[in-house]
Amino acid sequence: MAQRKFFVGGNWKMNGNKESLGELINTLNTASLHDQTEVVCGAPSIYLDFARSSLDPRIGVAAQNCYKVAKGAFTGEISPAMIKDCGVDWVILGHSERRHVFGESDELIGQKVTHALESDLGVIACIGEKLEEREGGTTEEVVYAQTQVIADNVKDWGKVVLAYEPVWAIGTGKTATPEQAQEVHEKLRAWIRANVSDDVADSLRIIYGGSVTGVNCRELASQGDVDGFLVGGASLKPEFIDIINARA
């Protein structure tokens, strides 16, 4: 069975300025980070160049979104080609805020996944159910459908990290219990095994997002199918170091 390298992504969202992000970057650059953990910071697009040129090379950078084509008359969008041109190797796609605040459809997210991977960007692909879906007992149905759209658009799974983020736990202070997270991750891995392949099921990193903190990260990291985190608010604070080192 493939050894899955622990993966911790920080999603800075629409936060920070050069001064505050510069301080955060300095903290990360000088910190002792677990060398068996892959770390990637998701910077606002306007700061991608700044983040990549300032961060230590051992820390990756991600864009928080991109469009489905390389260039053209798409005011306000950025393309994988532009992201790559800034020396950045990752993009976050399908985040619940893109789905629910900005109305991105499964179809559009799938097209973005295809184009990003064709452009040789790594993709952190996000899935997750809303509170009414969790309470209505349709969690599996929702996350399988979202995963299906992603899977339909992936040829090389080596460049993909799957992020399970229950929407009801993002920025709410509510966290899925380690048991709840493990249960969904285990079911997702079984879905991948049944619908993609054994090899991909063994090697694909399925990471958890939703109010991860320095306090709850170790217990979450100890779950067998939780291969890392996508961290929101806490990724802007010094406790991000503790989360990176959750398996140290």
Catalytic residues: 95, 165
- Give the number of C-alpha atoms closer than 13 A to the C-alpha of residue 166, restricted to the C-beta side: 25
Neighbours of 46 (CB within 10 A): 10
> Token pair for residue 190?
């079984």
DSSP structure string for 149-208: HHHTT-S-GGGEEEEE--GGGSSSS----HHHHHHHHHHHHHHHHHHT-HHHHHH-EEEE
- Taking alpha carbons only, the member of 242, 244, 147 closest to residue 204 is 147
> Token pair for residue 19?
């001064």
Find out whether 2 and 20 touch, Cβ atoms under 8 Å: no
Q: What angle do CA 48, 99, 186 make, to 5 degrees?
A: 95
The crossing angle, in degrees rounded to 10, of helices 106-118 and 139-151 is: 40
Find out whether 64 and 41 touch, Cβ atoms under 8 Å: no
> CA–CA separation, 24 vs 55, rounded Å?
10
